[in-house]
Amino acid sequence: MKVTRTALALTVGALAPALLLATPALAAGSAAAPAKVAAVTAGESPYDTMSDAELRAEVTRVLAANPGRSVTSAANEALAGTTEDVRTFLKTGLAKARDTDNAFTIVKLLADPNTGKGVRREANRVLSGTAADRAEFLKTGLAKAQDEDNKFAILKLLATKPGKGVTREANKALDGTPADRTAFLKTGLRLAQAEDDRVETFRILARPGLSDALRAAAEKALEGTPEDLRHFITVGQFQV
């Protein structure tokens, strides 16, 4: 492990590795392209020239994309109204409702105690920004901030001087892609820790004068899950 990583790791505050969040369905996306767009003059919306059937088809496409609650509610309300209600929804109401959903998604992130510092910083920044800021955050910024938090979580882990398996996989993740770091924190860490715990359990079994009770507990842990091994190493061996 490089010296620069160690130095940085020692300064990392307590961070909980957050699971790779899937990009919320509420994230801003463009409504489906109009089925038919007539020639549009300067300052005119393409929706101004659409028929009632065409406008309602556009709203149906929006609903088919499984949008958030605000968009769904506003879209259904528009469909229950007049042609002008539908037109107004597509021209201005959709964007407002989509931003409401985006803001709600960001607030939920902030309410999650597992959300890291990087995500919190960027989430608070865009909440006080524009609708475009919030849409861009959910589209690309969230993933970047999450990776920043994942890096710090891995560095914090390395600062505890873990076993060879965890150290090897952690450094591999740091040298890899954001997906590699997410996968390490989600599943790779558990497996690498089990590898180290298994080695330590065999060391315990190799001790001279080992009691029958401790031997039985170690062998039982080896036959169990990674969580069984972790419990034996951190708690079980001392209870025996």
**Alpha-helical regions (H) of 137-188:** 142-158, 164-174, 178-183
Asked whether the predicted pLDDT for residue 20 surpasses 90, the reply is no
What is the C-alpha to C-alpha distance for residues 170 and 193, in angstroms, rounded to an integer?
11
Asked whether the predicted pLDDT for residue 30 surpasses 70, the reply is no
Tokens representing 51 are 């028929």
Q: Can you give the pLDDT at residue 102?
A: 98
What is the C-alpha to C-alpha distance for residues 100 and 43, in angstroms, rounded to an integer?
26
Give tens-digit pLDDT for 60-69. Answer: 999 999 999 9
Cα 178–Cα 193–Cα 114 angle in degrees, nearest 5: 50
What is the C-alpha to C-alpha distance for residues 197 and 230, in angstroms, rounded to an integer?
6
What is the C-alpha to C-alpha distance for residues 137 and 202, in angstroms, rounded to an integer?
48
Q: Can you give the pLDDT at residue 44?
A: 74
Asked whether the predicted pLDDT for residue 13 surpasses 50, the reply is no
The least confident of 25-39, 118-132, 152-166, 175-189 is 25-39
Asked whether the predicted pLDDT for residue 211 surpasses 60, the reply is yes
Give tens-digit pLDDT for 185-208. Answer: 999 999 999 999 999 999 999 999
Asked whether the predicted pLDDT for residue 180 surpasses 90, the reply is yes
Query: Chain-wide mean pLDDT for the chain?
Result: 86
Q: Can you give the pLDDT at residue 42?
A: 52
In the numeric block, the tokens 């006080």 are attached to 128
Q: Can you give the pLDDT at residue 239?
A: 85
Asked whether the predicted pLDDT for residue 2 surpasses 80, the reply is no
Tokens representing 83 are 């042609």
Instruction: Answer yes or no: pTM beyond 0.75.
Output: no
The least confident of 46-50, 130-134, 145-149 is 46-50
Q: Can you give the pLDDT at residue 41?
A: 52
Q: Can you give the pLDDT at residue 99?
A: 98
Asked whether the predicted pLDDT for residue 21 surpasses 50, the reply is no
Mean pLDDT of 29-45: 51
Backbone phi and psi for residue 57, each to the nearest 5 degrees, phi listed first: -65, -40
